[in-house]
Structure 1
Amino acid sequence: MTLDDFRREIADPAIDFRPELRWWLAEGLHSDATLRREIEDAHRLGFGGMEFLAMDEGAIDHARYGWGSEEWVHDSQIVVEETTRRGMSVSFTSGTNWSNANLPTIDPDQRAAAQELDVVHETLAAGRSRTGALPRIDLEAPIAETTLPGHRGTITQQHLVAVVAARVAGAGLLDAASVVDLTAQVEGDALDWTAPGEGEWRLFAYWMHGTGQTASPSASVNYTVNYLDRDGVDAVIAYWDDVVLTPALRAEVARNPRAQMYMDSLELSTYGAGGMFWGFTLAEEFRTRRGYDIVPWLPFLTRDAPFMAVSTVYHHQPADDADRTTVEKVRFDYVRTLTDLYIENMLRPFAAFLHEVGMTLRAEISYGLPFELTRPGPEVDGIETESLEFGAQIDAYRLMAGPAHLFGKQYSSETGATTRNHMLDHRFYDQIIATQLAAGITKTVLHGWASPAGAEGVTQWPGHEGMWPMFSERFDTRQPGSEFYPLWTAAIGRLQYALRRGRPRIDVGILRTDHFTDNLIGMALIGPNGERIPDEVAYGTMWMRDRENHWWQDLGMQDAGITYEFFDGSLLLRDDVSFDGDEVQPDGPGYRALVVYQSTLDADVAAHLLAWTERGLRLVIVDGARELDSLMARRFRTHEAAASATPGLDGRDDELAAIMTRLRRMPRVRVTGPSGVVAALDDLRAGGRARFDGDDRNVLTHLRQNDGLTVLYAYHFLYETTEPTTVRVRLAGTGVAHRLDVWTGELRPHRGARRNGEHTLVELTLAPGEVAVVVLDTTTDAADTAAPAVTEVARADRWRLVVESRDAGEPEVLTEDRGLGYVTREVRPTTAVTRLDAGETELAPWSRIPAVGPEVSGVGEYTTTISVPEARPGVRHLLDLGSTCGGLGSVRVGDGPARGFDTAHPVVDVSGDIRPGDNLITVRVSSSLNNRLRARGYYERVPDIGAQLTGEERTQQAIVREYGLVGPVRLLRED
């Protein structure tokens, strides 16, 4: 690709590069007219695609409108037709709580349904005997409490899996050496057994039964499928093949080259006392894969996991410390086996089926379950993460970036969900996107979109909620800022275009294996004294923005501009991962070095590293690294000695020790503590492709290379600070550096680049929250340039202000009669706009302007006249708005075009619009709906989900937010 190609394509990025939307439909209630209107609106506003799913719409007829009904199938057809006609992508949504990963064709007693291992126990004194039938699970007893959605249906069958006895050694402690497998002694369902001669014994009876997990809304009861045995995916495929994918829908899917299935987070639940996911083949598969029997270890595997895998608490620990390592290895082997079966029996066959019918598979792989998060990466077409669970913590995004970059997968994110609703300014969401782009995410799926129209009786202004009045922002037409979405979506499209060109260039790959990764970071919003931490405070000032990265805590590499990401080391063993003597996966991330830091490492992976090191691999072994286990629980772990044991019970610890002894002595290996990694990389000549000229604590970068073009993305991520930062980045190669204006698509020569030997040193001054994209064209020679001098030409202090205030209008009632014997009714709230003329005013938040006040949301239009003595050709003029309180908006000079601006750094290039003499300046700035909704009492009925996670029942506490243009507004000239 040439620079001219890049310039032409990025000016108006194709629809493929635009941000997409998650669309919460009111089940199948929407009329055809509403569906078509929503898709037309989304397309008009510049969005590139829609993933759709059915949300519970309250008191309507689910048999008529729920998932799987004729209305839902019909609506699916309309959605696919309309998106395809406009060139938009379309995604069906699969997930445990979105019904369509649950089937009406199964019941929980069948092999295709999700299964769990449950337990009931008896206590016997030494020498006591028991006879007769074993205790069974009371399937009608109250279930264990869980915070996950979904509920349990009726289960009738249970199957005995094992009977195990162990001596009790204290509260929650068992003598591991005493465990005895009694399964072979069971006759029918009866066991005669006498406890041995000392201590108290516990007899465990393990029964498998369906979880019974269901999801709604659906036209009938739908049960969750089995993700571990092949029966589950076969049932899913059969249902989609026979019922969902009608001939008409297949034809439409075939016309859309970007039709997808999106697998959302795996919010699978168990409800019994065992807490273990199970399957009909799991015990046999465990024995085959791990080389030993899982049954004697079952007492140490039962657990509670009230909210995702990270919350796991085991019921029993071994009494003898010497046995604890063994038990930890068994636990690892169990969850490793779960990951194996999920890959082989769900993802792989499901992807193959989807490919046959013309769809690709995009997935939040492993989310929420005791699975490893990166190993399933090669099995899907797109890897997805989400901001709700990972917040704005870049280490989390770096984790999923590893498999995405290693295997060339599209890396996307469900972005915008928080525990707030209509509260936060647009800048907040822009900063999440900017953080994710810095980690290599190049597809933003906004969470989300909902039609204002919904069911009668439950739909109120500003419209149908979709994802409840929580867990989301709504990037749809109800927002005052939607007027400016075409400018904004084009800007995101340009960023995503730039960051999909060529190959990602990541300096360091960090081996990391964890089956219980904390994916509740974004909801860890309770302080040490029980106080509720606002989302915007946590995202903007805590965690990574308070020097607290989670899985790689030493920030030396980040401060130096050395990029890194994580992945499970076993991925290196795949045939499609290569090392060319210099880089790992040279056509992918091109890691210049690898890091081993966790205390466990698979012996096969270690042997592979040894072989590569003998061929020239640069390896850094790090002892003493500390990482996060659980943010909510404030639990961390320290790896005193890297790779000191294998993770599983494979008997290969000595073999690993021998390999690591050799590795630690290799000339291309450095052994250090976390703070010594940068020096070790420098010593190995792997110190970063976009290295900072002096450490910088404010900037994150991401690098792409494509033939003669190098694309540098730089982001000042400390957006709640007030000080700009100047960073100098050293890029390999020499040539002309160009700076991209993401709001216009213009590429201009960057002033502030100079040759430094065989490198180009690029200087960037970035305001807090500002993003920059620099394109280095190494096919062209260039002279050094200095940063421009900036002069203030004029300042605008007095403005005429009119605020277009939003409030509820008269609702519309929509009806649809499709000739099926009933009429569908929707209510569509409308928005009334009142013009509030504040006259001439100094710049201040609306709440302090008497003509506007603290109860208004909407769009403010500011006009003033700026006099310019001259406007010479080739001289840049910039209108610096100072601050818009994070609101999205536009700037127009005279009768020129409306130009968008960065909500963190609202500076607009008006060079082509400014004329000598007087210039009419029009600035439009939008707000959130918070102040108007607060005044209407909206938040008095909205539960605070962040507080609920700690058991506190309360509603959202909304405060008055500052809105509007507050400046100072200055016209600047660059010389």
Structure 2
Amino acid sequence: MTLDDFRREIADPAIEFRPELRWWLAEGLHTDATLRREIDDAHRLGFGGMEFLAMDEGAIDHARYGWGAEEWVHDSQVVVEETTRRGMSVSFTSGTNWSNANLPTIDPDQRAAAQELDVVHETLAAGQSRSGALPRIDLDAPIAETTLPGHRGTVRDQHLAAVVAARVSGEGLLDAASLTDLTARVDGETLEWTAPADPEGGEWRLFTYWVHGTGQTASPSASVNYTVNYLDRDGVDAVIAYWDEVVLTPALREQIAQNPRTQMYMDSLELSTYGAGGMFWGFTVADEFRARRGYDIVPWLPFLTRQAPFMAVSTVYDHQPADEGDGVTVDKVRFDYVRTLTDLYIENMLRPFAAFLHEVGMTLRAEISYGLPFELTRPGPEVDGIETESLEFGAQIDAYRLMAGPAHLFGKQYSSETGATTRNHMLDHRFYDQIIATQLAAGITKTVLHGWASPAGAEGVTEWPGHEGMWPMFSERFDTRQPGSQFYPLWTAAIGRLQYALRRGRPRIDVGILRTDHFTDNLIGMALIGPDGERIPDEVAYGTMWMRDRQNHWWQDLGMQDAGITYEFFDGSLLLRDDVSFDGDEVQPSGPGYRALLVYQSTLDADVAAHLLAWARRGLRLVIVDGARELESLLAGRFRTHEVAASTTPGLDGRDDELAAIMTELRGMPGVRVAAPSGVVAALDDLGAGGRARFVDDDPHVLTHLREDAGLAVLYAYHFLYETTEPTTVRIALDGTGSAHRLDPWTGALRPHRGATTAGDRTVIELTLAPGEVAVVVLDRSAAPQDSAASAPVEVARAEVWRLAVESWDAGEPEVLTEDRGLGYETREVRPTTAVTRIDAGEVTLKPWSLLDAVGPDVSGVGEYRASLTVPELAAGARYVLDLGSTGGGLGSVRIGDGPERGFDTAHPVVDVTADLRAGGNDVVVRVSSSLNNRLRARGYYERVPDIGAQLTGEERMQHAIVREYGLLGPVRLLRED
């Protein structure tokens, strides 16, 4: 690609580069007119696609409108038709709590339904005998509440799986040496057995394991839909059959064939078990475990039963070995169990499902492994797009780096569900812009906003500002109810330009970090209760804690980040695949091109170690790090330190000695360095792998991402400490020489970058970034270098006198929409409307609306500010920018005279107005939007909304909303850059 090609295509980025939307539908209740209107609105506002799903709309007729009903099938057809007609992408949504991952064609007693391993136990004194029937699971007993949504339906059948005895050695402790598999001694469902005599007495526990369906179901749906089995092939076969025979009608297939961006999106795997065992299971798990791991899982089952109240990271095992010496062995068995589950999820769900979707013209995008005891990165090659999310990981850069590894290794589209928080309508737009900016720094190049909901919904439950969809407590709304939506076309185009720039060519990542974890903490975004029980606001946590308090989670030393050395994570077994290569210099040169790999965890698979050894003999640069610390659970305050890297294999494979021999050889090789975490940068420099976009001097404020496309290098830089006040100046040395150009995402303009110098065979880019500001610089290596020095801007004029008028938003009269499709009933929905009242505040000093007597603390909407700027003369060749100071985090626009409306970055609202200025007087119009927080607060909205952030940690509280500072805050200055 040439620079001219880049300039032409980024000016008006194609629809596939625009941000997309998660769209919450009120089941199948919406009229066709509403569906078409919403899609048309989304398209008009610049969004590139819709991912749609049915949300529970309360007391409506689910049999008529729920997922799977005729109305839902009809609405799905309308959605696909309308998005396809506009060139938008469309995604069906599959997830445990979205019903269509569940099926009406199965019940919990069938093999296709999700299964769990449950347990009941008896206690016997040493020498005591028992005989007769084994105790069964009481499937009618009340179940413990789970934090995840959904509930258990009726489960009838249970199948005996195993019987194991163990000597009790204390509260929650078992003697590992005493584990005895008694399954072969069971006659039917009866067992005669005597606990071994013990002169010191003591107790034995007899564990009886039963397999039965989880019975998990979710609403809404036209009938009872049960969760499918993700581990046995029966589950995906049932899903495929249902979609093939029922959902994908000839008319729908015809539409899919016309839309090359039709997807199935698999949301997080919010699967639950309800029994005492707490173990996901399947009818083939035991046999597959034996075949893959080389030993029998049954004797170890007492050490595998667990409780996990919310996601896999919350796992607590019921029993531990009494002898600490057996702890390593038990940990290895536990690893082998979850490794086997990951294998089965890949082979029996993802792989066949993706193959089916490809046959019908769809691709598969997925939040792989989310929430379950699965490894997160190994399933990456099996899907077409890898998705993460901002909520569960708290929008932390280390979490985004975790999923970036497989995405970049295998050339997968890397996307993120963006904008879900425990707030609703509260936070300024800047908050969400900063999440997007963080994601881009990790290589995420597809933003799926969470989300969009039509204002229209069911009668009796829909109030202003509109139908919520994803409840009124768990997301933001990026739809037309937002005052800022009138500026979305400018905003979505800017995001589209950034995403276009960062999809060009190949990602260039300096270091690949091997990391394996089946219980990765994905509850970081819920860690919002302080040490004294205080509720930490989302905006405080995201803006000042965790990564913004210099606390990354999985690779905690910040030396590489501060030096501009980029890195990401992946399971080491991915290196064993035939489609991953090492060319003697880079790992996966057609992808991320890692210049070095890093090993730091105490466990490493022996086959992976042997692979590293073979590559090291060919020149692989490898850093082995001893003493690294990483997060296990933020909520629990639990960390682990890996004293010696790769000191044992993770599973019970008997290969520890083999691994030790390999690591001894590796540690002595010339291309390998052994270091403490703080010594990694020096080790990389010593190996000649010190970074392709290396900071000349360390900078703790900036994150970068680098792409290469033929002769172009695209550098993204982001000042991520957005709640600080000081700008930072960073100098970044890029490989190669050429001409440097700075992108304006809001206009698409590329201008020569002031602050690029040649240093030998490298180009040094100097950037001064305000807190929260992003910059994209394109280095054209096919052109001659054009060195230039950065110069400080000069203030030319300042607007002091402003007139303000505010469009104040509040509830209007609702509309009733009806539809009669000739099926013997009428569909009715209510669409709340917004009443806009104009407040003329007259001449004002720039300060928050809440402090202006004419506006006050209860107003939300859009403010229009008018002033005049006098410019005596315009310097030829100079660039003029209007610096707005602050807009309270609100989206908006600037117009000079008769020029066009121009958008601005909410963190750094500076607008290039060179083309619009005239010598003499210039009329200036600045429009700034707010969220709905202040108006909803005044209406008592939040007094009825539970605080989900507190609720998930056991606290029953309502949301607490404070008055937010809206408006143009200034100072507004016209600056000249020579």
| Structure 1 length-normalised TM | 1.00
Distance 1:211 1:554 in 2: 42
Counterpart-to-counterpart distance in 2, 1:828 and 1:730: 55
Aligned runs of 1:13-412 on 2, under 5 Å?
13-198=13-198, 199-412=202-415
Query: What SS does structure 2 have at the residue aligned with 1:681?
Result: helix
* 1:818-845 Cα deviation digits (max 9, x unpaired): 0000000000000000000100011010
**Are the aligned partners of 1:130 and 1:193 in contact in 2 as well (CA < 8 Å)?**
yes
Give the number of equivalent residue pairs: 975
Is the aligned partner of 1:437 residue 2:440? yes
**Would you say 1:743 and 2:746 are equivalent positions?**
yes
Offset of 1:873 from its aligned partner? Answer: 3.7
**Match status 1:616 vs 2:657:** no
Q: Which residue of 2 aligns with 1:590?
A: 593
- Partner amino acid, structure 2, of 1:312: T
Specify every segment of 5 or more residues in structure 1 that has no aligned partner in the other structure, as ranges. Answer: none
How much has 1:107 moved relative to structure 2?
A: 0.2
Q: Secondary structure at the match of 2:779?
A: strand
Q: Is the 8 A contact 1:385 1:414 kept in 2?
A: yes
The counterpart of 1:820, out of the listed 808, 819, 823, is 823
**SS state at 2:246 partner:** helix
1:783 to partner: Cα distance? 3.0
Q: Which moved more, 1:144-153 or 1:109-118?
A: 144-153
CA contact (8 A) 1:593 1:620 kept: yes
Looking at structure 2, the residues matched to 528 and 208 of structure 1 have their Cα atoms a distance apart, in angstroms, of: 41
Report the AA paired with residue 648 of structure 2: A
CA deviation after TM superposition for structure 1 residue 872, in Å: 3.3
Partner of 1:513: 516
Q: Which residue of 1 aligns with 2:804?
A: 801
Equivalent pair of 2:812/2:833 in contact (CA under 8 Å) = yes
Residue pair 2:389, 2:395 contacting (<8 A) in 1 also: no
C-alpha distance in structure 2 between counterparts of 1:246 and 1:301, whole Å: 44
Alpha-carbon distance in structure 2 between the residues aligned to 1:376 and 1:681: 29
Query: Following the alignment from structure 2 to structure 1, what is the Cα–Cα distance between the partners of residues 847 and 549?
Result: 30
Q: Deviations along 1:334-360, whole A, 9 cap, x unmatched?
A: 000000000000000000000000000
C-alpha contact 1:692 1:730 (8 A) present in aligned 2: yes
Aligned to 1:389, the other structure's residue is in SS state coil
Residue 389 of structure 2 contacts residue 418 of structure 2 at CA under 8 Å; is this kept in 1?
yes
SS in 2 for 1:390: coil
- Give 2:426's aligned residue: 423
* CA contact 2:740–2:786 (8 Å) conserved in 1: no
Other-structure match for 2:878: 875
For residues 604 and 272 of structure 2, the distance between their equivalents in structure 1, rounded to whole angstroms, comes to: 30
Matched, 1:497 2:530: no
- For 2:324 and 2:76, how far apart are their aligned partners in 1? 57
Whether the aligned pair in 2 keeps the contact of 1:151 and 1:215 (CA below 8 Å) is yes
CA distance in 2, matches of 1:141, 1:695: 61
Compute the displacement of 1:116 (Å). Answer: 0.0
Instruction: Give the counterpart letter for 1:827 in structure 2.
Output: V
Partner secondary structure for residue 452 of structure 1:
coil
Q: Aligned residue for 1:656?
A: 659
What is the CA-CA distance between 1:523 and the residue it aligns to?
A: 1.0
Name the counterpart of 1:6.
6
Tell me how far apart the structure 1 counterparts of residues 745 and 23 of structure 2 sit (CA, whole Å): 26
| Runs of 4+ that moved beyond 2 A | none
Give the letter for the 1:324 counterpart.
G
Q: Residue deviations 1:636-685, cap 9 Å, x none? A: 00000000000000000000000000000000000010000000000000
AA aligned opposite 1:618: R
Q: Any conservation in 1 of the 2:624–2:673 contact (CA below 8 Å)? A: yes
CA deviation after TM superposition for structure 1 residue 871, in Å? 1.8
User: What is the match of residue 550 of structure 1?
Assistant: 553
Deviations 1:249-289 (A, max 9, x none): 00001100000000000000000000000000000000000
The amino acid that maps onto 1:93 is: T
* 1:541 aligned residue: 544
Task: Say yes or no: does 1:897 pair with 2:900.
Answer: yes
Equivalent residues of 2:755, 2:790 under 8 A apart: yes
Amino acid corresponding to residue 60 of structure 2 in structure 1:
I
**Residues 379-408 of structure 1 deviation map (CA, whole Å, 9 limit, x = unaligned):** 000000000101121000000000000000
- Structure 1 residue 789: Cα displacement: 3.4
Quick check: 1:144–1:273 contact (8 Å CA) kept in 2?
no
| C-alpha RMSD of the superposition | 0.5
- Distance in 1, Cα, partners of 2:877 & 2:245: 64
Among 851, 863, 868, which residue is 2:866 paired with? 863
Partner of 1:926: 929
- Return the alpha-carbon distance in structure 2 between the equivalents of residues 529 and 228 of structure 1: 42
SS state at 1:87 partner: coil
Contact preservation (8 Å) 1:388, 1:471: no
Once the two structures are superposed, the pairs formed by residues 571-590 of structure 1 within 5 Å of their partners are 571-590=574-593
1:702 and 2:705 correspond = yes
Q: Is the 8 A contact 2:631 2:638 kept in 1?
A: yes
The amino acid that maps onto 2:661 is A
Distance in 2 (alpha carbons) for counterparts of 1:441 and 1:582? 25
Distance in 1, Cα, partners of 2:369 & 2:785: 48
Q: Does 1:753 align with 2:748?
A: no
Q: Deviation string for 1:155-196 (max 9, x for gaps)? A: 000000000000000000000000110001110100011111
Measured after TM superposition, the shift of residue 529 of structure 1 is 1.4
Whole-Å separation in 2 of the counterparts to 1:318 and 1:634: 23
2-side partners of 1:144 and 1:185: how far apart?
Answer: 33
- How big is each residue's C-alpha offset from its partner over 1:471-499, in whole Å with a ceiling of 9 and x where there is no partner? 10000000000000000000000000000
Q: Is the 8 A contact 2:455 2:481 kept in 1?
A: yes
C-alpha distance in 1 between matches for 2:801 and 2:400: 44
The one-letter code sitting in structure 1 at the alignment partner of 2:98 is: W
Deviations 1:303-323 (A, max 9, x none): 000000000000000000111
Structure 2, unpaired ranges of 5+: none
CA distance in 1, matches of 2:569, 2:875: 51
The 1-side partners of 2:709 and 2:243 are apart by: 40
* Counterpart for residue 673 of structure 2: 670
Matches within 5 A, 1:628-777: 628-777=631-780
The alpha carbon displacement at 1:415 in A equals 0.1
Q: Find the aligned partners of 1:872 and 1:571 in 2 and give their Cα distance.
A: 58
TM-score (norm 2): 1.00
Do structure 1's residue 837 and structure 2's residue 809 form an aligned pair? no
**Letter in structure 2 aligned against 1:104:** P
- C-alpha distance in structure 2 between counterparts of 1:744 and 1:871, whole Å: 21
C-alpha contact (below 8 Å) 1:480/1:929 kept by paired residues = yes
Following the alignment from structure 2 to structure 1, what is the Cα–Cα distance between the partners of residues 317 and 669? 40
- Structure 1 residue 143: deviation in Å? 1.0
Task: Give 1:530 deviation, angstroms.
Answer: 1.2
Deviation at 1:144, TM superposition (A): 2.3
| Deviation for aligned residue 1:951 | 1.2
Question: How far is 1:950 from its partner?
Answer: 1.9
Q: Which amino acid aligns with 1:147?
A: T
Asked whether 1:948 is paired with 2:934, we answer: no
Which of 884, 887, 904 lines up with 1:884 in the alignment?
A: 887
3-state DSSP class of the match of 1:37? Answer: helix
SS at match of 2:855: coil
Letter in 2 for 1:83: T
Distance 2:513 2:144 in 1: 38
